[in-house]
A and B are shown apart, each in its own frame.
Chain A
Amino acid sequence: MKKFILITLAAAVIAAIVGFLLYNKPHRDTASAESDFVVEAPVLLKEFTENEAAANQKYLDKVVAVRGKVKSVTPDDEGNINLTLDADNDMAGVICTFPKADAESAGSINEGEEVTVKGVCTGVLMDVVLIRCVVEK
Protein backbone atom coordinates (compact mmCIF):
# COMPACT_ATOMS: atom_id res chain seq x y z
CA MET A 1 0.00 0.00 0.00
CA LYS A 2 2.79 2.34 0.94
CA LYS A 3 4.49 1.53 -2.36
CA PHE A 4 1.31 2.35 -4.26
CA ILE A 5 1.05 5.77 -2.63
CA LEU A 6 4.69 6.43 -3.37
CA ILE A 7 4.30 5.55 -7.05
CA THR A 8 1.19 7.68 -7.39
CA LEU A 9 2.95 10.56 -5.72
CA ALA A 10 6.00 10.20 -7.95
CA ALA A 11 3.77 10.09 -11.05
CA ALA A 12 1.94 13.21 -9.90
CA VAL A 13 5.21 15.06 -9.34
CA ILE A 14 6.53 14.05 -12.77
CA ALA A 15 3.25 15.09 -14.42
CA ALA A 16 3.43 18.45 -12.66
CA ILE A 17 7.02 19.02 -13.79
CA VAL A 18 6.25 18.03 -17.37
CA GLY A 19 3.19 20.26 -17.34
CA PHE A 20 5.17 23.17 -15.96
CA LEU A 21 7.97 22.76 -18.51
CA LEU A 22 5.50 22.44 -21.34
CA TYR A 23 3.63 25.54 -20.19
CA ASN A 24 6.89 27.48 -20.01
CA LYS A 25 8.32 26.01 -23.18
CA PRO A 26 10.65 28.63 -24.69
CA HIS A 27 10.15 30.24 -28.08
CA ARG A 28 12.06 28.79 -30.97
CA ASP A 29 15.48 30.37 -30.92
CA THR A 30 15.99 31.79 -34.40
CA ALA A 31 19.68 32.45 -33.81
CA SER A 32 20.53 28.79 -33.30
CA ALA A 33 17.86 27.38 -35.61
CA GLU A 34 18.90 25.93 -38.94
CA SER A 35 17.46 27.98 -41.84
CA ASP A 36 14.84 26.09 -43.82
CA PHE A 37 15.34 28.39 -46.81
CA VAL A 38 17.98 30.81 -48.01
CA VAL A 39 16.56 33.33 -50.47
CA GLU A 40 17.17 36.78 -51.99
CA ALA A 41 14.71 39.46 -50.83
CA PRO A 42 13.35 40.28 -54.33
CA VAL A 43 12.81 36.58 -55.06
CA LEU A 44 10.92 36.08 -51.79
CA LEU A 45 8.62 39.05 -52.45
CA LYS A 46 8.04 37.90 -56.00
CA GLU A 47 7.06 34.42 -54.89
CA PHE A 48 4.54 35.91 -52.47
CA THR A 49 3.06 38.41 -54.92
CA GLU A 50 2.79 35.90 -57.75
CA ASN A 51 1.22 33.09 -55.81
CA GLU A 52 0.46 33.86 -52.21
CA ALA A 53 -1.13 30.51 -51.41
CA ALA A 54 1.85 28.55 -52.70
CA ALA A 55 4.31 30.82 -50.95
CA ASN A 56 2.36 30.49 -47.70
CA GLN A 57 2.54 26.72 -48.06
CA LYS A 58 6.25 26.92 -48.58
CA TYR A 59 7.39 29.56 -46.10
CA LEU A 60 4.88 30.06 -43.28
CA ASP A 61 6.33 29.35 -39.83
CA LYS A 62 9.65 28.42 -41.41
CA VAL A 63 12.99 29.93 -40.50
CA VAL A 64 14.03 31.85 -43.60
CA ALA A 65 17.38 33.50 -44.23
CA VAL A 66 16.82 36.47 -46.53
CA ARG A 67 19.62 38.25 -48.28
CA GLY A 68 19.15 41.83 -49.40
CA LYS A 69 20.05 45.48 -49.27
CA VAL A 70 18.91 47.38 -46.19
CA LYS A 71 16.31 50.02 -47.06
CA SER A 72 15.66 51.31 -43.56
CA VAL A 73 16.41 50.58 -39.92
CA THR A 74 13.91 52.05 -37.48
CA PRO A 75 13.95 51.43 -33.75
CA ASP A 76 10.66 51.79 -31.87
CA ASP A 77 10.18 53.35 -28.45
CA GLU A 78 10.40 49.97 -26.70
CA GLY A 79 13.85 49.11 -28.02
CA ASN A 80 12.75 46.74 -30.78
CA ILE A 81 14.00 47.31 -34.30
CA ASN A 82 12.21 47.18 -37.62
CA LEU A 83 14.47 46.57 -40.59
CA THR A 84 13.24 46.70 -44.16
CA LEU A 85 15.05 44.93 -46.97
CA ASP A 86 14.81 46.30 -50.48
CA ALA A 87 13.09 43.97 -52.94
CA ASP A 88 13.29 45.91 -56.21
CA ASN A 89 9.87 47.41 -55.58
CA ASP A 90 9.03 50.97 -54.50
CA MET A 91 5.96 50.02 -52.53
CA ALA A 92 6.95 46.75 -50.94
CA GLY A 93 9.89 44.99 -49.36
CA VAL A 94 10.68 42.49 -46.66
CA ILE A 95 10.01 43.76 -43.13
CA CYS A 96 12.00 42.10 -40.37
CA THR A 97 11.28 42.74 -36.70
CA PHE A 98 14.04 42.32 -34.15
CA PRO A 99 13.04 41.80 -30.55
CA LYS A 100 14.80 43.95 -27.98
CA ALA A 101 17.09 41.07 -27.03
CA ASP A 102 18.45 40.79 -30.57
CA ALA A 103 18.18 44.45 -31.47
CA GLU A 104 21.88 44.90 -30.87
CA SER A 105 22.76 42.81 -33.91
CA ALA A 106 20.68 45.12 -36.11
CA GLY A 107 21.60 48.37 -34.40
CA SER A 108 24.99 48.68 -36.11
CA ILE A 109 23.65 48.10 -39.60
CA ASN A 110 23.49 50.99 -42.01
CA GLU A 111 21.11 51.70 -44.86
CA GLY A 112 22.41 50.38 -48.16
CA GLU A 113 24.38 47.55 -46.58
CA GLU A 114 23.97 43.99 -47.86
CA VAL A 115 22.93 41.64 -45.09
CA THR A 116 21.37 38.28 -44.43
CA VAL A 117 18.53 38.36 -41.94
CA LYS A 118 17.15 35.19 -40.45
CA GLY A 119 13.62 35.13 -39.08
CA VAL A 120 10.31 33.32 -38.92
CA CYS A 121 8.12 34.03 -41.94
CA THR A 122 4.57 35.07 -41.06
CA GLY A 123 3.19 35.88 -44.51
CA VAL A 124 2.62 38.86 -46.74
CA LEU A 125 0.59 42.07 -46.47
CA MET A 126 2.15 44.49 -48.91
CA ASP A 127 5.52 43.40 -47.65
CA VAL A 128 6.69 39.98 -46.59
CA VAL A 129 6.92 39.93 -42.80
CA LEU A 130 9.54 38.10 -40.75
CA ILE A 131 9.49 38.08 -36.96
CA ARG A 132 12.05 37.19 -34.24
CA CYS A 133 14.86 38.14 -36.57
CA VAL A 134 18.61 38.03 -36.10
CA VAL A 135 21.32 39.22 -38.44
CA GLU A 136 23.42 36.38 -39.72
CA LYS A 137 27.10 37.10 -39.80
Chain B
Amino acid sequence: MKKIVFNTLLLVLLATAVQAQDKFFTKTGKISFFSSTPMEDIEAHNKTTTSVIDTKTGKLEFAVLMKAFQFEKALMEEHFNENYVESGKYPKASFSGAIANLSDVNFKKDGTYKVTVKGNLTLHGVTKAVEAPGTIIVKNGVVNAASTFNISPEDYKIAIPNLVREKIAKQIKVTVDMNYEPLKG
Protein backbone atom coordinates (compact mmCIF):
# COMPACT_ATOMS: atom_id res chain seq x y z
CA MET B 1 0.00 0.00 0.00
CA LYS B 2 2.75 2.36 0.98
CA LYS B 3 4.45 1.58 -2.28
CA ILE B 4 1.34 2.42 -4.31
CA VAL B 5 0.99 5.77 -2.56
CA PHE B 6 4.65 6.47 -3.13
CA ASN B 7 4.44 5.54 -6.81
CA THR B 8 1.35 7.67 -7.36
CA LEU B 9 3.05 10.59 -5.68
CA LEU B 10 6.12 10.13 -7.82
CA LEU B 11 3.99 10.02 -10.94
CA VAL B 12 2.17 13.20 -10.01
CA LEU B 13 5.44 14.93 -9.22
CA LEU B 14 6.97 13.81 -12.49
CA ALA B 15 3.91 14.86 -14.45
CA THR B 16 3.97 18.39 -13.02
CA ALA B 17 7.72 18.62 -13.53
CA VAL B 18 7.32 17.64 -17.16
CA GLN B 19 4.46 20.05 -17.65
CA ALA B 20 6.40 22.92 -16.12
CA GLN B 21 9.21 22.25 -18.53
CA ASP B 22 7.17 22.52 -21.70
CA LYS B 23 8.11 26.14 -22.00
CA PHE B 24 11.55 27.66 -21.98
CA PHE B 25 12.27 31.35 -21.93
CA THR B 26 14.97 33.98 -21.80
CA LYS B 27 15.07 37.72 -21.37
CA THR B 28 18.75 38.09 -22.11
CA GLY B 29 19.01 36.44 -25.50
CA LYS B 30 21.54 37.77 -27.97
CA ILE B 31 20.84 39.02 -31.44
CA SER B 32 23.52 40.66 -33.49
CA PHE B 33 23.80 41.74 -37.07
CA PHE B 34 26.68 42.26 -39.36
CA SER B 35 26.97 44.20 -42.57
CA SER B 36 30.14 43.78 -44.54
CA THR B 37 31.18 45.78 -47.59
CA PRO B 38 34.60 46.64 -48.99
CA MET B 39 34.04 50.18 -47.63
CA GLU B 40 33.03 49.43 -44.08
CA ASP B 41 32.03 46.69 -41.65
CA ILE B 42 29.12 47.47 -39.37
CA GLU B 43 28.23 45.35 -36.40
CA ALA B 44 25.61 45.73 -33.69
CA HIS B 45 24.72 43.67 -30.65
CA ASN B 46 21.60 43.33 -28.57
CA LYS B 47 21.69 41.30 -25.38
CA THR B 48 18.17 41.81 -24.12
CA THR B 49 16.03 39.73 -26.45
CA THR B 50 12.98 38.18 -24.86
CA SER B 51 12.06 34.81 -26.27
CA VAL B 52 9.82 31.87 -25.46
CA ILE B 53 9.95 28.39 -26.92
CA ASP B 54 7.17 25.88 -26.41
CA THR B 55 8.67 22.43 -26.71
CA LYS B 56 5.28 20.77 -27.07
CA THR B 57 4.10 22.71 -30.09
CA GLY B 58 7.46 23.92 -31.39
CA LYS B 59 6.24 27.51 -31.29
CA LEU B 60 8.85 30.24 -31.01
CA GLU B 61 8.49 33.92 -30.18
CA PHE B 62 11.13 36.61 -30.17
CA ALA B 63 10.88 40.29 -29.31
CA VAL B 64 13.66 42.83 -29.36
CA LEU B 65 13.99 46.57 -28.80
CA MET B 66 15.65 48.34 -31.73
CA LYS B 67 17.16 51.01 -29.49
CA ALA B 68 18.95 48.35 -27.47
CA PHE B 69 21.21 47.50 -30.42
CA GLN B 70 24.66 48.77 -29.59
CA PHE B 71 27.20 49.77 -32.19
CA GLU B 72 30.88 50.43 -31.94
CA LYS B 73 30.45 53.98 -33.17
CA ALA B 74 27.88 56.37 -31.73
CA LEU B 75 27.23 57.84 -35.16
CA MET B 76 26.31 54.44 -36.60
CA GLU B 77 23.86 53.93 -33.76
CA GLU B 78 22.35 57.34 -34.37
CA HIS B 79 21.93 56.73 -38.10
CA PHE B 80 20.52 53.26 -37.50
CA ASN B 81 17.89 54.55 -35.08
CA GLU B 82 16.98 57.84 -36.70
CA ASN B 83 17.39 57.27 -40.41
CA TYR B 84 17.05 53.57 -41.09
CA VAL B 85 14.89 51.58 -38.70
CA GLU B 86 13.17 54.68 -37.28
CA SER B 87 13.13 53.16 -33.82
CA GLY B 88 11.16 56.11 -32.41
CA LYS B 89 8.27 55.09 -34.64
CA TYR B 90 8.87 51.34 -34.66
CA PRO B 91 10.53 50.52 -31.34
CA LYS B 92 10.31 46.73 -31.58
CA ALA B 93 11.08 43.93 -33.93
CA SER B 94 9.52 40.55 -33.42
CA PHE B 95 9.43 37.07 -34.80
CA SER B 96 6.66 34.59 -34.36
CA GLY B 97 6.98 31.14 -35.80
CA ALA B 98 7.54 27.47 -35.24
CA ILE B 99 10.03 24.69 -35.69
CA ALA B 100 9.02 22.99 -38.93
CA ASN B 101 10.64 19.64 -38.08
CA LEU B 102 9.68 19.42 -34.41
CA SER B 103 9.60 15.62 -34.47
CA ASP B 104 13.37 15.60 -35.06
CA VAL B 105 14.00 17.29 -31.71
CA ASN B 106 13.87 15.55 -28.35
CA PHE B 107 13.91 18.29 -25.71
CA LYS B 108 14.18 15.69 -22.98
CA LYS B 109 17.39 14.19 -24.28
CA ASP B 110 20.77 15.90 -24.40
CA GLY B 111 21.91 16.41 -27.93
CA THR B 112 22.37 18.72 -30.89
CA TYR B 113 19.47 19.01 -33.28
CA LYS B 114 19.27 20.71 -36.67
CA VAL B 115 16.03 22.56 -37.19
CA THR B 116 14.26 24.72 -39.71
CA VAL B 117 12.26 27.61 -38.35
CA LYS B 118 9.45 29.21 -40.30
CA GLY B 119 7.46 32.24 -39.33
CA ASN B 120 6.90 35.95 -39.65
CA LEU B 121 9.47 38.62 -38.96
CA THR B 122 8.20 42.11 -38.21
CA LEU B 123 10.69 44.92 -38.57
CA HIS B 124 10.25 48.62 -39.34
CA GLY B 125 6.49 48.07 -39.46
CA VAL B 126 6.75 45.46 -42.22
CA THR B 127 5.91 41.79 -41.69
CA LYS B 128 7.48 39.19 -43.94
CA ALA B 129 7.56 35.41 -43.96
CA VAL B 130 11.04 34.08 -43.28
CA GLU B 131 12.65 30.68 -43.05
CA ALA B 132 15.91 30.07 -41.26
CA PRO B 133 18.11 27.13 -40.39
CA GLY B 134 18.98 26.69 -36.74
CA THR B 135 20.59 24.49 -34.18
CA ILE B 136 19.09 23.47 -30.87
CA ILE B 137 21.36 22.11 -28.19
CA VAL B 138 19.78 20.45 -25.17
CA LYS B 139 22.10 19.96 -22.24
CA ASN B 140 21.31 19.32 -18.57
CA GLY B 141 17.80 20.69 -18.81
CA VAL B 142 18.71 23.96 -20.51
CA VAL B 143 18.08 24.70 -24.14
CA ASN B 144 20.35 26.71 -26.40
CA ALA B 145 19.11 27.83 -29.78
CA ALA B 146 21.25 29.45 -32.45
CA SER B 147 20.60 30.60 -35.97
CA THR B 148 22.19 32.67 -38.70
CA PHE B 149 20.27 34.04 -41.64
CA ASN B 150 20.26 36.99 -44.00
CA ILE B 151 17.76 39.76 -44.44
CA SER B 152 17.70 42.58 -46.92
CA PRO B 153 16.92 46.12 -45.70
CA GLU B 154 14.88 46.78 -48.84
CA ASP B 155 12.50 43.93 -47.94
CA TYR B 156 11.51 45.87 -44.85
CA LYS B 157 11.16 49.20 -46.63
CA ILE B 158 14.29 50.54 -45.02
CA ALA B 159 15.45 53.23 -47.38
CA ILE B 160 19.17 53.79 -47.61
CA PRO B 161 20.32 56.96 -49.37
CA ASN B 162 22.45 56.45 -52.47
CA LEU B 163 25.30 58.34 -50.85
CA VAL B 164 25.87 55.59 -48.29
CA ARG B 165 24.36 52.67 -50.20
CA GLU B 166 27.81 51.23 -50.93
CA LYS B 167 28.64 51.17 -47.22
CA ILE B 168 25.74 48.98 -46.21
CA ALA B 169 25.50 45.41 -47.40
CA LYS B 170 22.56 44.30 -49.54
CA GLN B 171 22.25 41.28 -47.29
CA ILE B 172 22.61 41.82 -43.56
CA LYS B 173 23.71 38.77 -41.61
CA VAL B 174 21.64 38.22 -38.48
CA THR B 175 22.91 35.94 -35.71
CA VAL B 176 20.65 34.67 -32.95
CA ASP B 177 21.97 33.02 -29.80
CA MET B 178 19.56 32.14 -27.00
CA ASN B 179 20.13 30.37 -23.72
CA TYR B 180 16.73 29.29 -22.49
CA GLU B 181 15.79 28.32 -19.00
CA PRO B 182 12.74 26.29 -18.03
CA LEU B 183 9.75 28.52 -17.33
CA LYS B 184 8.53 27.65 -13.88
CA GLY B 185 4.77 27.63 -13.82
Contacts and interface: CB of A to CB of B under 8 A. Distances in A.
Interface stretch (A1-9, A18-26, A30-38, A106-114): A18-26
Interface in B125-149: none
B77 interface: yes
B150 interface: no
A12 interface: no
B65 interface: yes
Interface of A: 22-28, 56, 60-61, 74, 76, 80, 82, 84, 95, 97, 99, 122-127, 129, 131-132
A129 B50 CA distance: 11
* A-B interface, 6 closest residue pairs, ranked by CB to CB distance from nearest: A122-B67, A122-B68, A125-B50, A27-B74, A123-B65, A122-B65
Interface in B45-75: 47-48, 50, 63-65, 67-68, 70, 73-75
A74 B27 CA distance: 11
A129 B48 contact: yes
A24 B73 CA distance: 6
Contact of A123 (B28, B74, B91): B91
Given A82-B28, A131-B68, 15 more contacts: A24-B73, A24-B75, A26-B74, A27-B77, A76-B28, A76-B47, A84-B27, A95-B48, A97-B48, A122-B68, A122-B91, A123-B68, A124-B65, A129-B48, A131-B67
B73 A25 contact: yes
Nearest to B70: A131
Nearest to B52: A126
A127 B67 CA distance: 14
A121 B73 CA distance: 19
Contacts of A129: 48, 65, 68
A106 B65 CA distance: 23
Contact of A127 (B50, B70, B75, B88): B50
A33 to B, nearest CB: 13
B173 interface: no
Given A76-B28, A95-B27, A126-B27, A25 B74 contact: yes
B108 interface: no
Nearest to B75: A25
A27 B27 CA distance: 25
